[in-house]
Structure 1
Amino acid sequence: MELVREFERQMHNLRIGHTSFKRASRLEKKLGIRRLHLKLESENSSGTHKDRAALLYALDARKKGKDTLAAVTCGNYGAALAYVCSKLDMHCRVYVPSDFAATRNKDIEAFGGNIVITQGDYEAALNACVKDTLANGWYNANPGGPDKELAIYSYSFIAREIAQELGRQPDWISVPFGNGTILAGIWQGFRAMSMKPRIVGYSNNNSAIHGLVNKSRVPIPVEGLTITEVNEPLSGNFLLDDKEGMSAILESNGTAFEISDEELLKASKLIMDQEGLDILPASAGAITAITRLESRNHTFAAVITGRGHHS
């Protein structure tokens, strides 16, 4: 409980959480959706929802007497970790796979993060990170790591904020799958309030979503996995919280969709045209996923993030 109280206090101090929940009236009219709200996680200090997990991990590390955190990133999580550590006078080492576009390396360095470029894919980078963490006594801040429940819990606050703003649960909530962590956390948050919105999860070149789309309860690796600058935040056959994320969708009686790069880019442009919001294409797919449902006659919430252009 002490850790949670400190988390809530520092969220306020570091401008993390309590992001806007915006009615998207123009998108409603354009797409024939009864009611659509956007949870603008781009308002977090480093530009994405991942500030939440980074903060709780950093506070846990400090409580355990560690001043250096280490984690793997394709960009956004590294920026979040570097931002939080800079504010708490801590250190972070951010491992970036060499075959990723790594569009936020400048942000990570600007926040004081130490970048380690590793050869190979995400899994290879994770292995290198874990090895160095153990050897140096650092804190393992990777989602899916030994303290994975903290990252999941940090995202439960998104559900709390949505319920407070809406005054009830949405009928559906659309969330990017990624590693499965944010989706699992949002579900945990709603269940803690005895609420059960249906979840629509989506991704692109992602083994968990590929499994769900093919009626499997376990991930199915994507053959010929293709990671691009557009789908990078969503993609992978090696996911850290895939079981938790898949369980959330299944328990909510939800569904899942695979959404192409072209559709993600189109959705991002649509949101800009209709609502004036500059949204990361990988995140804009939350709107595309809603349009794939059989009925749009519901109250929807979509969790979206910006392009991470915060300084």
Structure 2
Amino acid sequence: MEDDSSSKYLVSKLLGLHTPFYRLRTLNKLFSLDSSLIYVKYEGINPTGTHKDRAARAHVARAIQLGRDTITVGTCGNYGAAISYFARLAGVRAVIFVPRSYENSRVDEIKRNGARVVFVDGTYEEAVMLSSRAAKANEWYDANPGNSTDQVSFEAYSSIAWEIIRDLGDAPFAVGVPVGNGTTLVGIYEGFRRAYREGLATRVPRLIAGTTSLGNQIAVSWSKGSTTPIPLSPSYVRETPINEPLVSYVSFNAEEALRAIYDTNGRVYAFSDEEMLEMSLMLKAVERIPVLPASVASLLALKSFIKEEEVDGSLVAVITGRWRKIKQ
């Protein structure tokens, strides 16, 4: 994916979103990982509490560039909150499609931001499809994954890679990333690849994906050794209040994510709700970092990776969201 004037504009719009970078110390000792330098890239400091703010800000800026007065997405919560927040700041109308069944959809917050909420009697994937269909019919800006505006999201998330290099002085040996649609992982991969190509990093890190064990297309495809997404039926996945950001029978950027994982000799690991909740509570208690349970799939993935392979350098876990009370 090559640079163009629009992508450079979007990256410039994201300058100043630099999020904290911490070295884990106490947790390393608890897990007997003293030989590995593990860092956390904490996205929870963003205005609405997740990494989705990076993509939302970029998409709203792009919508304004294109002269669109309305932006739309389907969401399980975090992306809708981010889009509605930046749309309100920019004076752009937002229409957010939300599965009616989702427990932690942040609907009240989205409404407070002035967005119109459309409830969908179906899955997240169906909410995305209906949102995209409405965008086409009404000439709204479509910020959903899996369409022609994907490059905007990839560019936005690529800034995470640039910041890691700035903080660490080089690219790490491996980077753990939570994976639902795979959009964030692809963007981070593109950032590291571009930095390596431009001589700003000595390597492209191995990408280690973490996700839910209750159904994700990228995880299933990788586990079967497939370089292309394997179709799943909706009945294959089970959504819970904890895994909603990760569970997906259609990962809209699965093809690009699988390519990035294979290209970097990466791996994919899947975890239970209990494992993610326990790790998030431990990270909050021991390292004083308040994290959304689904976002620690990256750290769990690195923990599993260390047990299986010899590590030659530092590791970074991208923690994509801050703690919120979750309904059980």
Of 83, 86, 92, the residue aligned with 1:84 is 86
Aligned to 1:152: 154
| Deviation for aligned residue 1:226 | 0.5
Aligned to 2:200: none
Name the SS of the counterpart of 1:233 in structure 2. coil
Aligned to 1:19: 19
Q: Does 1:250 align with 2:262?
A: yes
Deviation string, structure 1 residues 202-242 (Cα, Å, up to 9, x no partner): 21110111221232223332763101111110011112101
Q: Does 1:262 align with 2:270?
A: no
Q: Check the 8 A contact 2:95/2:115 in 1, yes or no.
A: yes
Q: TM-score, normalised by structure 2?
A: 0.88
The AA in structure 2 aligned to 1:59 is A
Of 199, 203, 228, the residue aligned with 2:207 is 199
Counterpart Cα distance in 2 of 1:198 and 1:249: 7
Counterpart Cα distance in 1 of 2:125 and 2:298: 26
The AA in structure 1 aligned to 2:96 is V
Runs of 4+ aligned residues of structure 1 deviating over 6 Å after TM superposition are none
Aligned to 2:227: 217
Q: TM-score, normalised by structure 1?
A: 0.93
CA 1:20–1:73 in 2, change beyond 3 Å: closer, same or farther? Answer: same
CA 1:11–1:149 in 2, change beyond 3 Å: closer, same or farther? Answer: closer
The AA in structure 1 aligned to 2:318 is V
Q: Does 1:289 align with 2:297?
A: no
| Deviation for aligned residue 1:308 | 6.2
CA 1:8–1:218 in 2, change beyond 3 Å: closer, same or farther? Answer: closer
Counterpart Cα distance in 1 of 2:9 and 2:192: 22
| Deviation for aligned residue 1:7 | 3.5
Counterpart Cα distance in 2 of 1:123 and 1:105: 17
Counterpart Cα distance in 1 of 2:9 and 2:180: 28
Count of residues in Structure 1 that have an aligned counterpart in Structure 2? 307
Greater mean alpha carbon deviation, residues 258-267 or residues 71-80 = 258-267
| Deviation for aligned residue 1:8 | 4.8
Q: How does 1:86-101 map onto structure 2 within 5 Å?
A: 86-101=88-103
Q: Check the 8 A contact 1:72/1:125 in 2, yes or no.
A: yes
Q: Does 1:278 align with 2:290?
A: yes
Q: Does 1:74 align with 2:76?
A: yes
Long gaps (5+) in structure 2? 197-202
Counterpart Cα distance in 2 of 1:305 and 1:64: 29
| Deviation for aligned residue 1:309 | 5.2
| Deviation for aligned residue 1:106 | 1.6
Q: Check the 8 A contact 2:179/2:246 in 1, yes or no.
A: yes
C-alpha RMSD over aligned residues: 1.9
Q: Does 1:124 align with 2:126?
A: yes
Counterpart Cα distance in 2 of 1:170 and 1:307: 23
CA 1:27–1:296 in 2, change beyond 3 Å: closer, same or farther? Answer: farther
Q: Check the 8 A contact 2:7/2:155 in 1, yes or no.
A: no
CA 1:94–1:242 in 2, change beyond 3 Å: closer, same or farther? Answer: same
Greater mean alpha carbon deviation, residues 101-110 or residues 273-282 = 101-110
